[in-house]
Structure 1
Amino acid sequence: MAEPASYLTEYLPVLIFIFIAAGLSAAFVFLPMGVARLTGTHNPTEGKLTEYECGFPAFEDPRSQFDVRFYLVAILFIIFDLEAAFLFPWAVSLDLTGWPGWITMMVFLGELAVGLAYAWKKGALEWE
């Protein structure tokens, strides 16, 4: 029977790898921030502090009204992104599923097309 110290030496490469990975990830995160702080000017202006991505100011009254169309577009994006995620495995395994798999996917794509036409007709994709 081998002694316990020999079992621990087998984990040494894994431990070294974890320390190197942690060191590199910390360097990739904190080194650019430090270099930017030392070499750049910290001058936040009103234009730099304005909201982006969400479309409405982040620091307002929480009961203020905002445009729901942003969320409709985001939900539609997620739906069609999932459609693309379903299409790849279907296309890869089409030789195994045969005609039943093809018909099922065409029904699925038809339902999505009807949903897209409905959203388009209701004006969910129009932005003013």
Structure 2
Amino acid sequence: MAVTLFDVPITGSFITLLLAAFLYCIIATGMGLLASTVTKSQIAAMFFAMLATLIPAVQFAGLLDPVSSMEGGGRVIGEIYPATYMINITRGVFSKALGFSDLYDSFKPLLLAVPVILGVAIALLKKQER
């Protein structure tokens, strides 16, 4: 959308951006599964998922303020939250012409978050079926 509507060029590696987007989609799906395990209805799950993803992404993921300038609990949330690393990768690919080797440290938490979030979601779904 940024490329077609706003003519923002991708100066870095498109494959890196594609891989990061794929990982983040898996993480977002896992977070949606987690939301559905703690709620009883679809509407409640959608509302919970929106609150649990949108507010931390805007407040703590470095979208408005850098995570490095945060203190206390906000910084801890920013360091744990996967959107922080997706934002770093997106900024690196679009603005700084970075590739996978430059952004490898931002990929590590995303790769770690996939099995953790999906594992917790699957474990909670199995308990819910009983």
TM-score (norm 1): 0.28
Q: Report the structure, 1 or 2, having the larger helix content.
A: 2
Q: Which has the higher contact order (CA 8 A, sep 6+)?
A: 2
- The structure having more radius of gyration, on CA atoms, is 1
